[in-house]
Every structure is written in structure tokens, then in C-alpha cells.
Amino acid sequence: MSKRQQIVDKISGSIPLIYGSLLLVILVVLGYFKQSSWNGITWWLNWGVLVIYLLWIFSEMNITVGEVAKGSSQEDRGTCEVYAICRGVCILSALGFGTQWEIPGLSILVGLILFIGGISFRLYAMRTLGIFYSHRVRIKSEHQVIDRGPYSVVRHPAYTGMLLAHCGIVVLFFNWYCLVALLGLLLPAIIQRIKVEELHLFQLPRYSDYAEYRRRLIPFIW
């Protein structure tokens, strides 16, 4: 590989890290300006959710930092960037526009369960996959099919957790822009990324057998 190509790959690999850092800053600034419209329990709830979301992004940035040294991945087909942008649009639209809920109600409990449960399920999936987890589509020579824990339920539980968490965000901060961002951007981005990943995963021994009895994202549906 030429030195020029190494530099290009290094820059390409740094894009998700730059984007993640920028998203962290924007969320903090947006939360600061939005707090004037929050009061009472809503103030505590919204800031609590925002802080948890920020910690979530920060916790995954260690993986992103490791990806920088590995450079870009041709197998990824740009799905990492698209997926990250759609995720950002979803959370920013939730905070950037007023919620339709006038008073706290059952939506808070439902939203929190989806939000916390989704993050927990994603982190559990990442931990279960261990050294084989990556933010980029990469197949290692020693790659193995993991079928325990959340991978016994669906083939891509990390994306299931991501989707559940943002469903929780939509419920907690409901507005039509956020709902459109979830269904029209984030969900299609996740589906496309799974399809790209599986082009390579099906080359692994045993993956076809593993996939035969498990759905990709949502049990019994897809």
C-alpha cells in the first residue's frame, strides 16, 4: 500500500471519531438552550436521559479510537458513516423540536424502559462478541460465529439495541420529525448495514446454519 493511500485511509478512519466528538458537543449545547423550556420533573428527566446518551456515545468512542489505527474498510461501503449520521439526526430532531406531550404520563415509563433496555442490550451484545466486535465491517482470519447470549435470539442484537434505544428517545421526546427520522432514516440505514455485513458473514463456516434459525433484527419478523 502506498504512503498516500495510507494517509487517505487514516483520514477516512478518523471521520467517525470526528463526527462522534462533534455530536457530543452539539448535544450538550442543544440541551443547554433547550432547558429553558423544561421544568420540574421534566427538567430532571430530560437532562438525565441526555447525560446517559452522552455517556453511551463516550463509552463507544474507545472502539472508534481503535478503528482509526486500522484505517477505512472497503467492505463497509460507507454504511458506517450513513448509519452514524442517521443516528445523529434522530437524537437531534428529538431535542431540536418541541415534544407533543404536555404533561408527564405513561410515556415516560415506556420510553425509559425502551431507552435503558436498548442501551443495555446493545452493550451486552458488544461484550458478548468481544474481540470480534467492530464499528466497521471487518472479517478477521480467526473470526468465529458467536451464538450465545443475545446472539441466540437475533443475529444482530447490537443493532436491535440501537433501534430500541432510539424508539425510547422517540417516545420520551415525541415529535413527528423525530419519528420520521427513526422510520425514514435510522431504520433503513440499519437494514442496509446488516445486508452489507451479511455479504461477508455468510462466507464464514457455520454462519448459514446459525442464520437459518434466527432472524436478523427483530425476533419472528426480520
Phi, psi dihedrals of residue 12, rounded to the nearest 5°: -60, -40
For residue 23, what pLDDT band results from cuts at 50, 70 and 90? confident
Q: What is the pLDDT of residues 61-95, one digit of tens each?
A: 777 666 655 555 566 777 888 888 899 999 999 98
- 122-145 as b/e: b if 16+ CB within 10 A: beebbebbeeeebbbbbeeeebeb
Over range 24-47, report the average pLDDT. Answer: 83
Q: Alpha carbon 89 to chain centroid distance? A: 12
Give the DSSP H/E element, type plus range, for residue 131: none
| Three-state DSSP state, 218 | coil
220 Rama class: left (phi>0) / alpha (psi -120 to 50) / beta: left
**Cα–Cα distance measured from residue 88 to residue 184, given in angstroms and rounded to the nearest whole number:** 13
Please check whether residue 115 is in contact with residue 49, taking contact to mean a CB–CB distance below 8 angstroms. yes
Please check whether residue 50 is in contact with residue 62, taking contact to mean a CB–CB distance below 8 angstroms. no
Over range 107-122, report the average pLDDT. Answer: 94
Which of 1.20.120.1630, 3.40.50.2300, 1.10.1040.10, 1.25.10.10 would CATH assign to domain 3-212? 1.20.120.1630
| Three-state DSSP state, 220 | coil
* pLDDT value of residue 7: 45
* pLDDT value of residue 71: 54
**Cα–Cα distance measured from residue 127 to residue 161, given in angstroms and rounded to the nearest whole number:** 13
pLDDT at 103 > cutoff 70? no
Over range 144-168, report the average pLDDT. Answer: 94
Over range 171-199, report the average pLDDT. Answer: 93
| Nearest-10 Cα torsion for 178, 167, 28, 89 | -40
Looking at the chain, the whole-number percentage of residues with pLDDT higher than 90 is 43
**Cα–Cα distance measured from residue 194 to residue 159, given in angstroms and rounded to the nearest whole number:** 9
Can you give the pTM of this predicted structure? Answer: 0.87
Report residue 110 as a C-alpha cell: 415506556
Q: What is the overall mean pLDDT for the chain?
A: 83
* pLDDT value of residue 8: 42
Q: What is the pLDDT of residues 142-152, one digit of tens each?
A: 678 888 999 99
Residues in Cβ contact with 45 at an 8 Å cutoff, skipping those fewer than 6 apart: 104, 108, 172
Tell me which residue has cell 457455520. 206
pLDDT at 206 > cutoff 90? no
- What are the extents of the domains in the chain? 3-212
Over range 112-120, report the average pLDDT. Answer: 96
Over range 159-187, report the average pLDDT. Answer: 95
Tell me which residue has cell 458506517. 80
Looking at the chain, the whole-number percentage of residues with pLDDT higher than 70 is 82
